[in-house]
Structure 1
Amino acid sequence: MSTYKKEILNHICYTALVYGRINKKLNLQLSNWEIEKMLLEIIQNTKEINFEKRGKNIYISNESGDIRITINSFTIRVITVDRIKQK
């Protein structure tokens, strides 16, 4: 089994632009620190089975929070966060 979760928790990073992108996509108005805290809690509470590597990205799907986090697998940098569309 992979250790994506541990690797991400230890090395996650952000760009200056991603904070605005996350606020826009989730329709929020959080500070950078609040976004980092929110994502850290989501990642910690998501089971490793919901971490999927496709190509260069890792997708973390947290259905209880209706959120999917996209992370670059090489840099462990957050790319974006999307709402999971309910079926």
Structure 2
Amino acid sequence: MKRFNNWYHSLSMEQITWLAVIFITTIVGTLASSTVLKLGMSAFENAGVWAQLMVSLAATAVYAIIVVVVISIFFPKEMRLALKRLPTNKK
């Protein structure tokens, strides 16, 4: 426990904020995607494998959207920079 306290107290405020954002993102993303999975699978349980696959893809998309939204709320400058660095087909 002492090593953890030493490590934690050596972190900067920005690093602590990043850790908190990652924690919040994982909790909210997991809750939202599991809700989509639960509702979607119960609604499409007899619709076949392709419908269940689409529900799984929707749950993954919800998780990804939540990651982008939460990080852009806490770190708007970093998010803009990251989005600018995405590869695009502009020539």
Which has the larger Rg? 2
Higher share in helix:
2
Q: TM-score, normalised by structure 2?
A: 0.29
Q: TM-score, normalised by structure 1?
A: 0.30
